[in-house]
Structure 1
Amino acid sequence: MKPKVCITTIEYPPDVGGVGESVHRIAHMLIDSGYEVHVAVFRSKQRLVSDDSRRRASCKTTLQDEVFVHRIKSAVRQPEPEIQDFFGDVYFYLKRLYQQHQFNLFHAFFLNETGYVTTLLAKENGVPVINSIRGSDLHKNIFSPKFHAQTAWTLDNSDWVTFVSRDLQRRGAAIAPGILLKSSVFLNSIAPINFEQLPTPALMHQLSGIVIGSSGRFRDKKGIEFLLDACAELSTEIDLTLLLIGDFVEKEKSYWKQEIRQSKLVAPPEANSRLQITGIVSREEALAYLPHLDIYAIPSLHDGCPNALLEAMLAGCAIVGTNVDAIGEILADGTAGLLVEPGDTPQLTTALRQLANQPELRQRLGTGARKKVLQQLSPAIERENWLQVYQRVLWPERSPQFNQMSAVSMNK
């Protein structure tokens, strides 16, 4: 009989986002390894509606490529539902799913949105639970006083905790020291991509000079203001285009419009624009831009293990990244890109200038980035890491040495 796993997450395809992509990848790794996988999707901001409508709580189940996907929505009974009402509705439907399917394991992605309610249900029913920390759940949300006690309790009551960077593990251990005995660090992976089969992207004819690109959903943690400053300075000495593949999150758009106005870069529709922003595009179109970049910049202030970095590495981009989280760990040896300190515009400007003026260095680093991602960040390696964790949590008697060895061997 297949062991049944319920993964809880804030997003799952077709939702756009790195957490959803990771959950999708891991779900299929588990299916290929003989597990029955259920994914419960819920997010607190979905409790709000903009048209003053009302709705009942619901749980809609579909089968997506062998994964049972349960999308849970809380009720809207008043203009601004309380967060505790949201979690109450989620708990109700998550409990019903457990009663129906009798899961052998719960696995929560993103600590604050999903981890607490998932861990509470698991502990009440004697079911093991894994919590996977992705980035903002410890780097940003921990600064909200209302999350601190909940975060510490969830970490303490997890059977295992996984992190995508050592920075995140260190912060987790500062909050709940005991997790060092029940946690491991390993990076995301990515499958090879055939970039030659992707269509020519829409803005190609508007890109000139050295093309410096970055991609994602741009928000506070991405450090884009420092990239704007660096490119503005470089534009006085180098013909360049800054290409932002994606768009700014809605709640911060007025801030970013101000930053762009204050920069010396000229944004469309002005003539001779040195800044191009694609807006929201499909993942296929976003990927199609990468081989056309001269330099890929990821100036994040904190960022977990971003899929965008791994995609740029697969495309053979010359990369400039900040020394934070997995970005710093991946680029530290200098074979796959240049590393700068976060928020340091002069360092970032110098690194971009160095790559812009040295095509042979761009070629060497791009080749090194592609080689590294294919050899060290392959799905086969990530799959083995996950299977070790699952075996430890589900069948600890079969792996008695895992407790002592994992924190050392899996964190290398």
Structure 2
Amino acid sequence: MDKPKICITTLEYPPDIGGVGESVHRIAKMLIDSGYEVHVAVFRSKQRLVSDGSRRRASCTTTFQDGVFIHRIKSAVRENITEIQDFFSDVYFQLKCLHQKYNFDLFHAFFMNETGYVTTLLAKENDVPVINSVRGSDLHKHVFNPKNHAQISWILENSAWVTFVSRDLQKRASVIAPSVKLKSSAFWNSIAPINFEQFPNPPLVNELPGIVIGSSGRFRDKKGIEFLLDACASLDKELDLTLLLIGDFVEKEREYWKQQIKESGIGNRLRITGITSRQEALAYLPHLDIFVIPSLHDGCPNTLLEAMLASRAIIGTRVDAIAEILEHGVNGLLVNPGSTEELTASLRYLATQPELRQKLGAAAKTKVTQQLAPSVEHQNWMNVYQRVLITSESILLGEISLV
């Protein structure tokens, strides 16, 4: 019997840096281990732009990587500015060619705003079921663009199934498209165990005096870092502390963040590593006394799970999966997003309670190891895939009426 063929569409895939790419890679390996043939089509609208004035035809380059067929799609560059509709037209054609060649049994799009529409359109035209996975910004941010709202609603209505990484996201989708209530599930990301002792000391480890407060990731608008800057600056006279930002600010917002750092008055209390490898970022975690994730919205961030595995005392915000995973006073502390006052008070409290930090960190590691293990996520995904494929097969056989 032939293996079911799955085509996952995504904005990124390793070696691309990003949480979505890491999730897709993890899920692709799960599917292979469960007997599926997995294809990943990677495309992103920003890749339609070139800075050197060059021109190119549309293309799809296929490689075989760790048992997965990786198809990297590029749109044509025929003029100085490639219109977005030309980009998606090219992507659609390349996806259609892939489907004609491989005859996929199921499509799965990650991140509705760019991949969801073109993938769902192709799937519906070819009577192939499609799963759409909402990650965060597609419903927290892009839905506020009037041009996107109707498209997002159509994608939700025409999905065979929709997955979410938090119940907050599932609730918002159900408001936009009520039918989602009957064909969706919400479950967290997972993370494999990490041996932090294997990592050498990272470069800045000897430049972190006092209580070390840290956060990690690609810092941008949704991360709420300005409130962390203000909270640490306000504690400057009370505590000997260092704020370590593991990562860097996104380039398009860099001037804004320079201004925020200056206005916060945090001065030489701040250290920023710049873009690092994942291994180097992980190596910093054991050197933190407190890990802070002050997001305004954030899906189910991998950085939270990494800090939990490192047994860090964590302060998070009451948003998305952060508030579902962390239990206030049990395995972390929770504050309201955008509240410098609450964040300051929680930092002050934990900074003076080393035994509590140890207790919260140990509880965080226990929870992530038991409830966010790869085996748990694997079973959740198998339930979704099997349900969608069985339902689709029943429809084709005429066992389920569509009327």
Question: Where do residues 270-309 of structure 1 align in structure 2 (5 Å cutoff)?
Answer: 273-309=268-304
- Taking the aligned partners of 1:334 and 1:25, their CA distance within structure 2 comes to 31
- TM-superposed CA distance for 1:205, in Å, is 1.0
What is the count of residue pairs matched by the alignment? 394
Residue 407 of structure 1 aligns with which residue? Answer: none
Counterpart AA for 2:311: G
Counterpart AA for 1:57: A
Counterpart AA for 2:307: A
Counterpart AA for 2:378: R
Contact 1:106 1:129 in 2 (8 A): yes
Contact 1:324 1:342 in 2 (8 A): yes
Counterpart AA for 1:253: R
Question: Where do residues 221-240 of structure 1 align in structure 2 (5 Å cutoff)?
Answer: 221-240=222-241
- Taking the aligned partners of 2:373 and 2:328, their CA distance within structure 1 comes to 19
Residue 186 of structure 1 aligns with which residue? Answer: 187
- Taking the aligned partners of 2:169 and 2:219, their CA distance within structure 1 comes to 21
Residue 404 of structure 1 aligns with which residue? Answer: none
Question: Where do residues 6-405 of structure 1 align in structure 2 (5 Å cutoff)?
Answer: 6-266=7-267, 273-396=268-391
- TM-superposed CA distance for 1:93, in Å, is 0.3
- Taking the aligned partners of 1:212 and 1:57, their CA distance within structure 2 comes to 47
3-state SS of paired residue (1:54)? coil
- TM-superposed CA distance for 1:332, in Å, is 3.0
Give per-residue Cα distances to partners, 1:220-249, cap 9 Å, x unaligned.
000000000000001111000000000000
- TM-superposed CA distance for 1:334, in Å, is 3.2
- Taking the aligned partners of 1:56 and 1:206, their CA distance within structure 2 comes to 49
Contact 1:391 1:399 in 2 (8 A): no
3-state SS of paired residue (1:395)? helix
- TM-superposed CA distance for 1:76, in Å, is 1.1
- TM-superposed CA distance for 1:397, in Å, is 8.1
- TM-superposed CA distance for 1:399, in Å, is 10
Structure 2 residue ranges without an equivalent (≥5): 396-403
Calculate the TM-score normalised by the size of structure 2.
Answer: 0.96
Contact 1:164 1:305 in 2 (8 A): yes
Residues 372, 235 of structure 1: alpha-carbon distance in 2 compared, 3 angstrom cutoff: same
Runs of 4+ aligned structure 1 residues displaced above 3 Å come to 397-400
Contact 1:104 1:128 in 2 (8 A): yes
Contact 1:392 1:399 in 2 (8 A): no
- Taking the aligned partners of 2:129 and 2:347, their CA distance within structure 1 comes to 47
Give per-residue Cα distances to partners, 1:5-61, cap 9 Å, x unaligned.
000000000000000000000000000000000000000111111222222111000
Residue 408 of structure 1 aligns with which residue? Answer: none
- Taking the aligned partners of 2:13 and 2:361, their CA distance within structure 1 comes to 31
- Taking the aligned partners of 1:114 and 1:356, their CA distance within structure 2 comes to 43
- TM-superposed CA distance for 1:333, in Å, is 4.8
Residues 333, 256 of structure 1: alpha-carbon distance in 2 compared, 3 angstrom cutoff: closer
Contact 1:392 1:398 in 2 (8 A): no
- Taking the aligned partners of 1:372 and 1:399, their CA distance within structure 2 comes to 39
| RMSD of Structure 2 on Structure 1 (CA) | 1.2
Give per-residue Cα distances to partners, 1:363-408, cap 9 Å, x unaligned.
00000000000000000000000000001100128999xxxxxxxx
Structure 1 residue ranges without an equivalent (≥5): 267-272, 401-412
- TM-superposed CA distance for 1:79, in Å, is 1.4
Counterpart AA for 1:94: L
- TM-superposed CA distance for 1:298, in Å, is 0.1
